[in-house]
Amino acid sequence: QVQLVESGGGLVQAGGSLRISCAASGRTFSSYAMGWFRQAPGTEREFVAGINWSGGTTYYADSVKGRFTISRDNAKNTVYLQMNSLKPEDTAVYFCAAGGPRYGVTSTPNAYGYWGHGTQVTVSS
């Protein structure tokens, strides 16, 4: 069965850094785009970052551009999100998405076929 398991979330103070990971199992996603989305209480899920199949193309939401870096290791079937200069407004549950387009990257949730259950990231002020 396909599983996406996020890890690395936690509590960090504003200005700090955190690296979260998403390990996929059950099938390989090396031929598909992957991404990260987040959802804060009372808000809709929003796109954070995406990465194409090879890792050569990345795409970021304006709110995290320059602070976050998405990467992937296809040999490990894993995608990462390095979060630097964290702000309280980054507080959310971060969800891993897999099974995106085989070409390019998209910010559209419906383009991804598989989702993890999320990892909580809390940034204190």
Q: 45-90, pLDDT tens digit by residue? A: 999 999 999 999 999 999 999 999 999 999 999 999 999 999 999 9
Cα dihedral across residues 60, 61, 62, 65: positive or negative: negative
11-to-33, 99, 120 alpha-carbon distances in Å: 28, 29, 8
Residues of the chain with pLDDT > 70, as a percent, come to 100
Task: Return the closest-CA partner of residue 69 out of 50, 45, 52, 53.
Answer: 50
What is the pLDDT of the chain when averaged over all its residues?
Answer: 97
How buried is 103 (Cβ within 10 angstroms: 0-12 exposed, 13-18 middle, 19+ buried)? Answer: exposed
Given pLDDT bands bounded at 50, 70 and 90, which one contains residue 92?
very high
Q: With CA atoms as reference, report the closest residue to 30 among 9, 52, 53.
A: 53
- The confidence score (pLDDT) of residue 44 equals 95
